[in-house]
Homo-oligomer: A and B are copies of this chain.
Amino acid sequence: MKKHLLIAALAFVGVSVHATAANDEPISPIKPAANINLGMVELGKKLFFDPRLSKSGFISCNSCHNLSMGGSDNLPTSIGDRWQQGPINSPTVLNSSLNVAQFWDGRAADLKEQAGGPIENPMEMGFSHTLTVSLLETIPAYVREFRQVFGKDKIDIEQVTAAIAEFEKTLVTPNSRFDQWLLGKKDALTKEELDGYTLFKESGCTACHYGEAVGGTSFQKMGLIEPYKTTNPAEGRSAVTGKDADRFNFKVPTLRNVELTYPYFHDGAANTLAEANDIMGRLQLGKKFTPEENAKIVAFLKTLTGDQPLILLPILPPSSDSTPRPNPFGK
């Protein structure tokens, strides 16, 4: 009865009870997507799944950010046009709207800017913005849908990337067992998982992995205490800022759905959560977790898997006779 009164009082003064309950914790629950333009989402979903946005006609956004597999490709580094080996591990698209910036080095300010990158990257989709737009203009059903959604005479790349970004904004994963616990379901976690969470906090992991996405909000040096050894040439944030001090600074990845987004790190070198956690402990915190401690933290991390977006596979509008045919094997 007392608790009910308190809740009523808090609600009265405009304080969210759930937020209050979770406020003591460094991690906050994922909120369902809001302020969503559904017309843009439906169009963006089609574009996200459309391999005609690549030179080969074979690679779509979903190829490397596969929504059946945690929004990633589960490969160390991605496969691009003509099977080129990508330079870096494909980050999950899930909850990516919560990132401070996009790509491992944060070179895109937001999802819209990010969406334009892979299309014209010769290592990825190998196409161009101009070719994308002129191709879409030959597909009558796309022309109508862009007109309906954006109310303009002509398709342009800004509309394409805005629609993809709007779709990606819907790809949040609320309702993980950990969030249920944060929101008051105290039996949502086992003792081992809770112990793992306590250890995660006490060891200092939450210095970087905090907030709604349990990461994604800052750039940090990979190999803070001990250097990280890799053959991957990526330099991280310094490639964007030009500052030597930013060398090997990478965006802290989200740990949401981390059970699904193996392998780990920007080079995809860690195959398992236990391996990744062990390396993070040693290199970032100067801590050697015992196997028992490691298992507890891994158990906690697996509680961060939320409801995966329910995606009704889009049916893509067919090309017309005048649509350029893709070129998968020619130069």
Contact = CB atoms under 8 A, between A and B. Distances in A.
Contacts of A284: none
A312 interface: yes
Interface string A286-300: 000000000000000
Interface in A275-321: 308, 310-316, 318-319, 321
A70 B311 contact: no
A49 B75 contact: no
Contacts of A313: 67-68, 310-313
Contacts of A82: 83
A83 B330 CA distance: 12
B312 A75 contact: no
A57 interface: yes
Nearest to A307: B315
Interface in A221-279: 259-260, 262-263, 271-274
A12 interface: no
Interface in A24-82: 49-52, 56-58, 63, 66-70, 73-76, 79, 82
A318 B259 contact: yes
Contacts of A316: 68-69
Contacts of A68: 49-50, 313-316
Interface string A157-186: 000000000000000000000000000000
A85 B328 CA distance: 9
Nearest to A64: B58
Contacts of A83: 82-83, 328
Contacts of A51: 66, 69
A141 to B, nearest CB: 11
A233 to B, nearest CB: 15
A56 to B, nearest CB: 7
Given A83-B82, A311-B313, A325 B259 contact: no
9 contacts: A49-B68, A58-B73, A58-B79, A67-B313, A69-B316, A82-B83, A262-B319, A272-B321, A313-B313
Interface of A: 49-52, 56-58, 63, 66-70, 73-76, 79, 82-83, 85, 259-260, 262-263, 271-274, 308, 310-316, 318-319, 321, 325-326, 328-329
Given A51-B66, A274-B321, 20 more contacts: A49-B68, A50-B68, A56-B79, A58-B73, A68-B313, A68-B316, A69-B316, A69-B318, A74-B326, A75-B326, A75-B328, A76-B325, A79-B328, A260-B318, A262-B318, A262-B319, A271-B321, A273-B321, A310-B312, A311-B312
